[in-house]
Each structure stands twice: as C-alpha cells, then as structure tokens.
Amino acid sequence: MTPAPSVPTPVPMPRLPDPDFGRWGQGTSLLGGWLPVGVEILAIVILIVAIGWRTRPWRLVWVPVGAAIGVTAALGARTYMNSEGLASDPAPFKLWVWTAVCGVSVAVAALGFRGARWWRRGLSVAAIPLTLVCALTVLNQWVGYYPTLQKAWGDLTAGPLPDQTDAKDLPNLRNTHPKTGKLVAVDIPDDASGFKHRREYVYLPPAWFSGVVPPRLPAVLMIAGEFSNPTNWVRAGNAIPVLDNYALGYGGAAPVFVFVDSSGRFNNDTECVDGPRGNAADHLTKDVRPYVISQFGTSSDPSDWGVVGWSSGGTCAIDLTVMHPDLFTTFEDIGGDRGPNSGTKQQTINRLYGGDAASWDAYDPRTVMARHGPYGGVAGYFDDSQEPSDDKSKNLLKYLSDRRQERLAPVGFGGHGDEDQFREKGALPDLCAAAMAVNIGCTLRVYTGYHTWQFGARAFADALPWIAQRVHTPTVPD
C-alpha cells in the first residue's frame, strides 16, 4: 500500500509588522478583564434583589416557575442550535447558564410586576438587558467576534468601516496616490444565483487608483465563518490595517479583496454550497467573481484569483478552489473542517442538500480532489489551532512536530472543543495530505491557541505575503 504523502515543512515567509494581537487594538476588552466580570456581578446582584423575599406564594410557587421558564429557554435555544447544525462545535456550558438566567429575569419581571414596589419593578426590568448582555458576552468570548467594546459599538451602530468611501467618489480618486486603500460597499446582482444576500465590500489598494484606468490587479475572496456578516473580516478580523500595512511596503500594490456574504443572514449556515439554504456557491462563482472583474477591472486569469476563509469559511476556501480550478488556484483554509457539514453526515445531507446524497460527494473536498486527479498550478495554505490543555490537541501537535511543523506563540482568547472527528480537529492535516496526493501544493502551520477570530486574523496576516505572491501581485518578488 502506498503511504500517504507527508506534510511538508512550512516555507519561510516575511513577517508583517505585528498588528498587536496581544492587546488586540485599543479599547476596553470584551474577551477578558474587568468589564465582563463586572457586568456579570452587577446582573446577578440586581436579579437577586429584584427577586427578593416577598410573599410565601412568591417564594414557593412563582420563583420555581420562573426558574423552570429559564431552564426551558436554555434547553430550547440549545435544541434549536443543535437541530439546525448552526455551530461546528459545542457551545460553552456558561452560555446556556446565562441564557437560563436571562429567561429567569424575564419571568421575574412578568410574574412579579403587579404586586412589586416601584423600585423592585425597575430592578426587575433592568435585569433583563443586563442578563442578556452577559449571555451575548459569553457568546462573543466563544467566537472572539468583538475584542473590544469600541469595536462592538461601531458594528452595532453601523459606524464607518476603516478606509470606507462611497462608490460615487471613486472616479474623482482616479490618477491619484492615496496612502491607504479604499473600502467600497457594493450591491452585487444575484441574477445568476438567485441568492438573497446582504451588502458586500471591496477593498481597493492604493495602486488601483494610479493611472487613468485601473491596473489589472489580482483578486481574493474573503469568507467569514458561521454566524457571520460581510463586515466580520473587517471589524473582527482586523483585515484593513493589515492590507494597508502590506500595500505600504510594496508601493501601494496589493490584490483587490472582496468581503463576500456566503450566508445571506446571520443564522443561515450555507457552508458555501447550493441547496435549501440558498445557492451560495453560485453566488460566489457566478455573481461575485464576474462582477468584480467587470466593475473593478481585475484580472480574470484563475492564477490571479484566490479564496481565504476562516472556520466554515476555510472549508469554503478549499472547496471552491478544488471544485473550480478554472476560477481559483490559491486558497487559505483557516481552521476549516474536512468538508461542508451541518452535523453528522446524514444530518448534513438533509440540512444542506435537501436529502440528496449525491450532493455530499459533489461538495466533499477529498472526494472532489480524488475524482479530479492531478491538478496544475493549485496551492493551499492551511492554518490550524490546537488548545494546549487538550490531550488530543497535544498529541496532534506532537504528530505535526514530528513532521517538522512549526509551532507558534499562543494566540486567541476563547475556545471550545471538537468532539465530532468529522469536524475541525485533525481535519487540516488530512486535507493537506489529500491535496498533495493530487499535486496541490500544501503548506500547514499550527498555532497553539483557540478557534477564535483572533486566531483567524493572525493566520491571515501571516499568510498574506504568500497569498499576494501566489496571485501575482505587481512588484511582489517571486
């Protein structure tokens, strides 16, 4: 039996100036420190005072009823998440605790409002948003969406994005030399796919504005994970400062980056396939790519196009590339799974493909690569994160270390485990070996840390020089 190809040593790459992933920007942290703990303490104190001792029926009947309502709310939320396969990994237990506490606060306000004094009524009402904020804070710590209060507020209030400009102002910027790139909101027609999506964004590097007409720059799709929106890579992934910093080092040259919508709405996990949840694959390949070429004058050569994704977006990145090597030849899979998934294999077939088992094979990367046979000119970059306290993770790190893999400094704040072997843990070495078997170049780097946006952002920043070189960015040396 022919042995599986070994995983190669990562190629040396120039490091970008450190974008301060330790403190992760300026502002009040939502991932640790005094604010999350302070809000939790405040919420508990206010809820306890709001409940109070009150009357005997209140203590013996209505408080237990309120507790039952809270537990039911938590179980219902957990059941819904599991039934829809909305998360690749189990949520932390603390999330369900705070969901239950939030349900209790609603019940206390509703059941005890009539007979309570005015100040207790006020406290019972105030406990609802406070406990909800606590639940959302735990959710945020799980996925690392918003590292600081300031970033969360900017997103919630739809504040301006870094480098954002209006599309109507682009003609006035022609034949200029801006110091930073520009981020433009676009409403891409869905004529080919029928996929109902949100507003998407295109990053134009400074070099795009030089001359009377735009240069034919390469382009890269940027795909976020589950529970996403097109601005996640911008706000949570810190992408714009990283891109501007890179372009500054190469005379303003960088690829055009397209921050796409692969889900259509926040809780719709399409895994970038065509199915009951929407024709996401067709949107990215038949709507987005032609639009960017026609509207922004980018290259149409597949060797000048790449795909980057984090979490489920990482799965999208490899899947789109191996399925469409005539459109994309470079990908970065950051913490992706072995393939599109929404639970077990049968659950995935039911949820993503409407029961069509043949679609499983059509979108499974390993199956697609094996059926295609040897590729030409395709290469992938895999970034994995492994939790240092997990014995299985330690074993995997040792496995990779034995194959001369590079271990980097810890990144990330939150984290969670991976219980289903189909999912993230160990997926990327498997995919890397399968890719090498069909002549797809493979680079694998393992970070000691957790599956959070901080990991995703750091991995992208580290891989950007490789990506820019692969898609033939002007002025980037070979």
CATH number at residue 430: 3.40.50.1820
**How many domains in the chain?**
2
**Together in a domain, 265 and 218:** yes
- pLDDT confidence of residue 88: 55
**Together in a domain, 54 and 174:** no
> Is residue 350 in some structural domain?
yes
> Is residue 149 in some structural domain?
no
- pLDDT confidence of residue 129: 96
- pLDDT confidence of residue 81: 78
> Is residue 9 in some structural domain?
no
- pLDDT confidence of residue 409: 30
> Is residue 478 in some structural domain?
no
**Together in a domain, 106 and 216:** no
Q: Which domain-ending residue is among 143, 169, 198?
A: 143
Q: How far is CA 152 from the centre of its chain?
A: 16
- pLDDT confidence of residue 157: 73
Three-class DSSP labels, the chain: CCCCCCCCCCCCCCCCCCCCCCCCCCCCECCCCHHHHHHHHHHHHHHHHHHCCCCHHHHHHHHHHHHHHHHHHHHHHHHHHHHHCCCCCCCCHHHHHHHHHHHHHHHHHHHHCCCCCHHHHHHHHHHHHHHHHHHHHHHHHHHCCCCEHHHHHHHHCCCCCCCEECHHHCHHHCCCCCCCCEEEEECCCCCCCCCCCCCEEEEECHHHHCCCCCCCCCEEEEECCCCCCCCHHHHCCCHHHHHHHHHHHCCCCCCEEEECCCCCCCCCCCCCCEECCEEHHHHHHHHHHHHHHHHHCCCCCHHHEEEEEECHHHHHHHHHHHHCCCCCCEEEEECCCCCCCCCCHHHHHHHHHCCCHHHHHHHCHHHHHHHHCCCCCCEEEEEEEECCCCHHHHHHHHHHHHCCCCEEEEECCCCCCCCCCCCCCCHHHHHHHHHHHCCCEEEEEEEEECCCHHHHHHHHHHHHHHHHHHCCCCCCCC
Enclosing domain of residue 139: 34-143
**Together in a domain, 223 and 334:** yes
Contact at 8 Å (CB) between 127 and 47? Answer: yes
> Is residue 2 in some structural domain?
no
Q: Which domain-ending residue is among 112, 143, 174?
A: 143
> Is residue 134 in some structural domain?
yes
**Together in a domain, 311 and 256:** yes
- pLDDT confidence of residue 456: 92
**Together in a domain, 139 and 165:** no
- pLDDT confidence of residue 204: 98
Cβ neighbours around 348 below 10 Å, total? 23
- pLDDT confidence of residue 6: 55
> Is residue 18 in some structural domain?
no
Q: Which domain-ending residue is among 143, 178, 201?
A: 143
**Together in a domain, 118 and 239:** no
**pTM (2 d.p.):** 0.80
**Together in a domain, 169 and 89:** no
**Together in a domain, 197 and 296:** yes
> Is residue 317 in some structural domain?
yes
**Together in a domain, 279 and 319:** yes
**Together in a domain, 79 and 180:** no
**Together in a domain, 448 and 322:** yes
Residues in the chain, pLDDT under 70 = 1-26, 84-89, 158, 387-425, 476-478
